[in-house]
Structure formats: structure tokens, C-alpha cells
Amino acid sequence: MKVLKFGGTSVGSPERIRNVADLILKSGRNIVVLSAMSGTTNTLVEISQYLLKHNVPGAQETLNALRRKYHEVIEQLFTRPDISMRVRETIERSFSFIAQLAQGEFTQAEEKEVLAQGELMSTVLLQAHFEERGVNCVIIPALDYMRTAQGGEPDMRYIASHLRRLIDLHPEAQVLLTQGYICRNAYGEIDNLRRGGSDYSASIIGAVLDLDEIQIWTDIDGMHTGDPRFVEHTRPVARLHFEEAAELAYFGAKILHPSCVLPAKLHNIPVRLLNTMQPDAPGTLIANFPPDGTIKAVAAKDNITAIKIKSGRMLLAYGFLHKVFETFDKYCTPIDMMATSEVGVSVTVDNTDHLTAIIDELKSFGTVTVDTDMVIICIVGDLEWHNTSNFQARAIQALGDIPVRMISYGGSNYNISMLIRAEDKIKALNLLNQNLFQ
Ligand code: ADP
Ligand code: ASP
Ligand code: MG
């Protein structure tokens, strides 16, 4: 058995929903994880922002536009009036639920409930479409098994036992359908696995059930050498090691949620990235491949801040680095990249919630300089240091005259990271793609 995850664009219109249903039927009896229809989660975020700012008319107008869209989809998707009416009533319950939240004080817990409606609605549409086609498709509600523990990590034991029990209730089902992204937290409240989290849902399911494969179906034929939104002439990468895929996902390759590779890697379950619009394309296979000494792809992580702490006596004054890291630790702020010298250390962060307090404390250890609007460019591949393909020089040369603020290599064999200004990002990504992959 496999788990097949379909992203927002794969279920973005009635035609796509029919298409996805065909693909699912061809694949046999599997678990299907669905995202919200494309644009829905963004719209739900927008509605929540209006409600948090007490702009009820703004929320209502946006909600009504979304409601109209769903009614159009229902009209076009279904031919049987009984099914169409039942689906309309179910979807309408989601909309009235959100509308009713506009009445009182809007809390963050309610925001999570609003964000959950996208996946709850998309699964209702697909399940009813299968019903119209005479296919026995059962919804396994994610809110009944997907759960995070204290600290926010998935509670794998809980998920495994509850999911197994729910699946065993439906031996006759041809398709086992579930919602991606949504879950409950340790207190049983509705929560989510962060934006793009349906990939993570699929990977968790694949891992806890020890399935044969995790398939991520999206709108592109696999992981490309660069981000096609910014880079010309990218091409798909046929094979990636788990570690390479994890680096790319963490450092900005949007095709995969940053946490999605870990459960698959720990359970050694292959992950295949496939294109719903081009189902026969080979896509990308992520597995435990032996080293092949090649550069695979480049990703970019935006909104990075670099902090340099200079101290005249860094290496002699032992304990300096400890104090610096302790400060970030105290404010629960992870560090992405670091570079050291005799006189100081530079680190980067993407979470600036506590930056003012952190800088204030760091000033007692040395002189602090901050650079904002930076981007980490991450070159990923099997880059072991004895490898003679000269990858470091090629990466640096490719950037030409673009100023590089920090360079980091050696934390693993899988990446070289370079910190540059945000304004140079697109040029840098295109130069790297031309020089490393063409
Ligand atoms: P889904 O809605 O199916 O989850 P996403 O939008 O989250 O789809 O991810 C697919 C998108 O990721 C692609 O359309 C592409 O624009 C973007 N992307 C960014 N970097 C890469 C990359 N290196 N390879 C492929 N796609 C990438
Ligand atoms: N619907 C959610 C989002 O847009 C989860 C996902 O698509 O993976 O973030
Ligand atoms: Mg996604």
C-alpha cells in the first residue's frame, strides 16, 4: 500500500478533481491525502486576518467570494441532484461556522479552526465525486488520528494506533481518503502542521504504517535544479538522497514541506515527486541512494537576518561561543548558518521575533552588527570534500561579481550555503543554474 498526496493545484477545479480521481483509481487501494483547493488556505488566512483586526465586513466579503467559488465547483462537478444537494449543505456548514465566528472576539484557536475548513471541504468534494462514480471511498478524519505532542512534534505512537484502528474499520473501502495539513495538538484542540503541511501529513502516514512509497503529486514534474518561479531552463532531477531532499526542502524548495523528508528517511520509505498534469513523467525519486558525487539542485531561503558578534579575544576567551548560542537558545531562535574567525562569529536567523532582545544581550559579549534582507543560497548534492569535481570553486565562480556575506560548508557533505543580499537572489540563482547544470 502507498500514500498518495495531492496538492492544491491538483484539486483546483472540477476538471482537476476528476483527473485526480482517475489517477487514484489506476493506482489501486491506497491512502490518499488531500490539500485544500488551491487558493483556499490563503483566503482563509486573509479572512482570519480581517477577523483578528475586527474588520467584519472585510471578512464577510472575502468569505462570500470563496463561498461563490465553491458553489460553482459543486454545480460543475456533480450530476446527481441528491449528491449535489448533500455536498452543498455540508460545505455550507463550513461557511456558516466561519461566519458565526465573526460575531464574537476572534481567538487564535478559532483561527486554526478556520484554516482547517479548506481540507475538510476538499475531501468532501472528492469523496462525493467518487460516490457518483460508484467507487467506495471512505474519509478517515485527520482530526481523529493526526496529533502533535507537547512541543509540537507529531505523536507517532498515537497516530499509528489510531490510524490503524480507523483503517481496519473499512476493509471494503476502495479508496481511503484523508485530510492533509490539519491535526489536533496535545490538548486536543484543532491545529495544523504549518503552511504546506500536507506533504508532512503524507510522510507521517507513510512512516507510521510502514507503507511501500510516499507519492507527492503536484503541478511540476519533480524537484528541479532550481526554483522555476525565478530561474529559466531548470530541469527535473531524477534521483535525490534523503539528505539532499531534506536540505533542499529546508532551504526553500517549496515543492516539499521542510519537515516532510525526516519521517520517510527514518523509516527508509521512498518518496516520489510526481506531476498530476503529466502523470507519465518519471518525476523525482528520493531514497537512500549510494553517493554519486554530483551537484543536484540549488534552493534559496528568504527573509534572513545576519548577526555578527565581534570580540577582540574570541578564541582565547573560551566560553564566548557558548554564551552567544545560549542567548539564541534562551529566546528559542534557531540558527541556520554560521561562520567563525579569530575575532568573531556571524550567524543567520529567519525568525526575528526576539531580535531586539537578543541583540541587546549579545552586546555584553562584543560589538554587534546586523544585516537584514538577506537570502541563503543553498547548493545541494553529494559534495564530499575529497570529491575532485571542484564543486566549491565552481559554485563561487558561478556567482561572478555578486557580493557574498557568508559561506558555509562542512556541516554535512550535502550542502554549501552562501549568504547574499535579497536583491541579488534572482541573478545568483540563474547564474548558478547556467554554470552548474547546463
Ligand atoms: P502543492 O500545492 O502541490 O503542494 P506547491 O506549490 O507547494 O504545490 O509546490 C510546488 C511548487 O514548488 C512548484 O509549482 C514550483 O513553483 C515550486 N518550487 C520551488 N522550488 C522548486 C524546485 N526546486 N523544484 C520544483 N518545484 C519547485
Ligand atoms: N492547504 C495547506 C496550505 O495551503 C496545506 C498544503 O497545501 O499542504 O498551506
Ligand atoms: Mg505544497
DSSP string, 288-317: -PPP---EEEEEEEEEEEEEEEE-TTTTTS
Ligand nearest to the CA of 378: 1
Cα 360 to middle of ligand 3, angstroms: 37
| Residue keyed to cell 494506533 | 161
Interatomic CA distance for residues 347 and 336, integer angstroms: 7
Q: CATH 3.40.1160.10 occupies which residues in the chain?
A: 2-219
The pLDDT of residue 151 is 87
Do 427 and 379 touch, CB atoms closer than 8 A?
A: no
Distance 279 CA to ligand 3 centre (A): 17
Is 2-219 in CATH node 3.40.1160.10? yes
Q: What is the pTM for the complete model shown? A: 0.95
CB of 12 closer than 6 A to ligand 2? no
Cα distances (Å, whole numbers) of residue 171 to 59, 136, 152, 166: 43, 11, 32, 10
Q: What is the mean pLDDT of residues 70-78?
A: 98
Range 109-114 contact pairs with CB under 8 angstroms and sequence separation of 24 or more:
109/189, 109/190, 110/51, 111/48, 111/51, 111/52, 112/189, 112/190, 112/191, 112/192, 113/190, 114/44, 114/47, 114/48, 114/51
| CB of 198 shorter than 6 A to ligand 2 | yes
pLDDT at residue 313 is higher than 70: no
- Give the pLDDT confidence of 384-418 residue by residue, as tens digits: 988 878 899 999 999 999 999 999 998 889 999 99
**Pocket flag, ligand 2, residue 157 (CB < 6 Å):** no
pLDDT tens-digit readout, 177-186: 999 999 999 9
- Tell me which H or E stretch contains 369: strand 367-381
Instruction: Report CA 235 to chain centroid distance, whole Å.
Output: 21
CB atoms within 10 A of CB 29: 12
Please give the distance, rounded to the nearest whole angstrom, from the Cα atom of residue 196 to the centre of ligand 3.
4
In short, whether 35's Cβ falls inside 6 Å of ligand 2 is yes
Ligand 1 centre and the CA of 8: distance in Å?
Answer: 11
Ligand nearest to the CA of 196: 2
Ligand 2: which of 33, 35, 119, 219 to mutate, judged by most atoms within 8 Å of the beta carbon? 35
Per-residue model confidence as pLDDT tens digits over 152-175: 999 999 999 999 999 999 999 999
What is the mean predicted confidence (pLDDT) over 122-137?
98
Alpha carbons 370 and 301: distance in angstroms, whole number: 18
255 C-alpha to center of ligand 1: Å? 3
CATH 3.30.2130.10 domain position(s) in the chain: 296-437
Cβ atoms of 114 and 167 closer than 8 Å: no
The verdict on domain 296-437 having CATH code 3.30.2130.10 is yes
* Ligand closest to CA 297: 1
